[in-house]
Amino acid sequence: MRKGKFITVDGVEGAGKSTQIDLICSYLHEKSIEVVRTREPGGTEVGEKIRSVLLDVDNQEMHSDTELMLMFSSRNELIQNKIIPALNEGFWVVSDRFTDASFAYQGGGRMLDLNRISELADWVLGDFKPDLTLLLDVSVEIGMQRIEARAAKDRIELEERAFFERVRSVFISRSESFPERIKLIDASGSVKDIQSKIRVLLDSL
Ligand code: Z5A
């Protein structure tokens, strides 16, 4: 029995997901809502091991289907062992990325067949889906500028700009296909402006 709410936050690199999730968690705490914060890929002991394989720059030869299936393997661990138990206990769960990222990165970026990704999603998730997905949308250029100062890039961040343009375009088209669940937020403004827009959506939950 699902008692808590499940919120996911997604977008291209540097959109400000981590920054806004910190603020979301504080806001929910202020409202006396108990929150479990997690991330994808990762979030569980097994999932974090899968994450390190996925992001390891030495794994350049990884096949795109392998990458897709590892994303969903990590997701399965997270849903079964962390998200569902937490929701059933009444916690709200906030995840830094979720299934929409597989459509955007593996479908858009890697150009894998979106129908095959849907089949995998049906298998792993069934009817399970977030109550709310916050899609933080910024241009690839702004996102890249924001993360420029980082010391090292992971395997996926090494992709060329066209890859991230395709990622962004699938994210936007999913927000148009699922307007009830996925709320596109212009994330090019200040942290405070974005936070205000997100609070309105959280209040509606
Ligand atoms: N991936 C995938 O391919 N398929 C999947 O199914 C899933 C994931 C689930 C891991 O992602 C990688 O896995 C990711 C997608 C892929 N690959 N790539 N590339 P991740 O979530 O761990 O890492 P990330 O996407 O690269 O996130 P990020 O770079 O950490 O960005 P962020 O969390 O959105 O941004 P941030 O850390 O909050 O902010 C970045 C900087 O901008 C920081 O200095 C902030 O202070 C600054 N910032 C934040 N907001 C603002 C505003 N509003 N104005 C100005 N500056 C700001």
CA of 163 to the centre of ligand 1 (A): 15
Tell me, what's the pLDDT at 2? 86
For residue 149, name the pLDDT band (cuts at 50, 70, 90). confident
Closest CA to 205 of 21, 31, 23: 31
| Residue pair 56/155 in contact by the 8 Å Cβ criterion | yes
CA of 10 to the centre of ligand 1 (A): 8
**pLDDT > 90? residue 131:** yes
Q: Where are the beta strands (DSSP E) in the chain?
A: 6-10, 35-39, 92-96, 132-137, 182-186
Indicate the DSSP class of residue 130.
-
For residue 158, name the pLDDT band (cuts at 50, 70, 90). confident
Counting Cα atoms < 13 Å in the Cβ hemisphere of 73 gives: 15
Atom of ligand 1 nearest to the CA of 105: 3
Tell me, what's the pLDDT at 45? 98
With the most atoms of ligand 1 within 8 angstroms of its CB, the residue from 146, 155, 171 to mutate is: 146
Beta-carbon neighbour count of residue 22 at 10 Å? 13
With the most atoms of ligand 1 within 8 angstroms of its CB, the residue from 57, 75, 79, 105 to mutate is: 105
CA of 85 to the centre of ligand 1 (A): 26
Beta-carbon neighbour count of residue 31 at 10 Å? 10
Tell me, what's the pLDDT at 8? 98
CA of 1 to the centre of ligand 1 (A): 32
What residue spans define the domains of the chain? 6-203
Closest CA to 170 of 97, 117, 109, 113: 109
Longest dimension (CA), the chain: 47
Residues of the chain above pLDDT 90, percent: 93
Tell me, what's the pLDDT at 108? 98
Q: How large is the average pLDDT for residues 10-16?
A: 96
**Is domain 6-203 classified as CATH 3.30.565.10?**
no
Residue the block writes with tokens 């405070």: 192
**pLDDT > 80? residue 151:** no
Tell me, what's the pLDDT at 153? 87
Tell me, what's the pLDDT at 157? 84
- pTM exceeding 0.85: yes
Measured by CA distance, the residue closest to atom 17 of ligand 1 is 156
Mean pLDDT of the chain: 96
Tell me, what's the pLDDT at 152? 85
Tell me, what's the pLDDT at 132? 98
Residues in contact with ligand 1 by the CB-under-6-Å rule are 11, 13-19, 40-41, 71, 96-97, 101-102, 105-106, 146-147, 156-157, 190-191, 194
For residue range 76-128, what is the model confidence (pLDDT) as tens digits?
Answer: 999 999 999 999 999 999 999 999 999 999 999 999 999 999 999 999 999 99
For residue range 48-57, what is the model confidence (pLDDT) as tens digits?
Answer: 999 999 999 9
Q: How large is the average pLDDT for residues 68-72?
A: 98
